[in-house]
Amino acid sequence: MKKPKMNDDDTLENEYVDNVIDSNSGRKVKSLLPIKTKSGVIPQQILEEVKDEEIQIDEDAEEEELSDKEEFSIQDSEFDLSQPISATQLLAARNEILRQKKIHIGTLSSGLLENPEEKIMNLKTLFSIMDEETPEVYLTVRKLVIVSLLEVFKDILPSYEIKHTNNEGVKCDSRKRTEDEIKLSILAIQAMCDLLVAHPYFNFSQNVAQAIVPFLNSHNKKVREIVNISVKTVIKEDKKRRNDFEDITEL
């Protein structure tokens, strides 16, 4: 005698409800091959116990995801200015700003090295970063930009020429320099000297030479030594004898 179709449907519905309940209690539902009957196809499913290791992995994954979100929220959080800020917090904030600047400068420099023609605007961005006045890190950032630009120019010159700019009317800053600013200036002079030694014959080399030669009379001993060594190296290795450095030789 055939069972009424309604009873089969009721049975399947009850099994489905039981499966949902069991899955919430830590067991998996596994589908089996369906059974064909005169009244239709009956799907088959069995319940499997979930191993403790799988449960633990899921829990660890959830904890890790929550941990990442917490770390992200901490990085994005700002200090409450109404509350006292410790020296440790200030140092951590400075290091985070510096880390972001390093990544930015590195990305811009890498882009220039990979494709100077398409990424030429990266130069403008690097110079704009160097002009930023972020109190906590501006000196360190400028050092990073100078060193990065030096490496970029060493790599792309003399294939790409440097365009001459007119600086007439630019006022000189006559204020007294701090010790850190003096160190930054020395680094800039060192960078120009290194560039001249690396590429003495690119289109802007004479301009660089004329810029550094006056520093042979600098009151700073370290600056005099840097320029002196560089000029001697350029003249000594001037194998092409193009008289590009005739003015320097006369000095």
Residue 148 in contact with residue 126, Cβ under 8 Å? yes
pTM score = 0.52
In a domain, 183, yes or no: yes
**Do 151 and 186 have their domain in common?**
no
pLDDT of residue 68: 40
**Do 190 and 227 have their domain in common?**
yes
**Do 244 and 189 have their domain in common?**
yes
In a domain, 58, yes or no: no
Q: CB neighbours of 158 closer than 8 A, spacing ≥ 6?
A: 199, 201, 202, 203
Q: How many domains does the chain have?
A: 3
In a domain, 46, yes or no: yes
In a domain, 144, yes or no: yes
In this structure, what DSSP letter does residue 110 have?
A: H
pLDDT tens digit sequence for 130-158: 888 887 788 889 999 999 999 998 888 87
Domain that holds residue 223: 178-251
pLDDT tens digit sequence for 159-191: 666 665 555 554 555 556 678 888 889 999 999
**Do 199 and 251 have their domain in common?**
yes
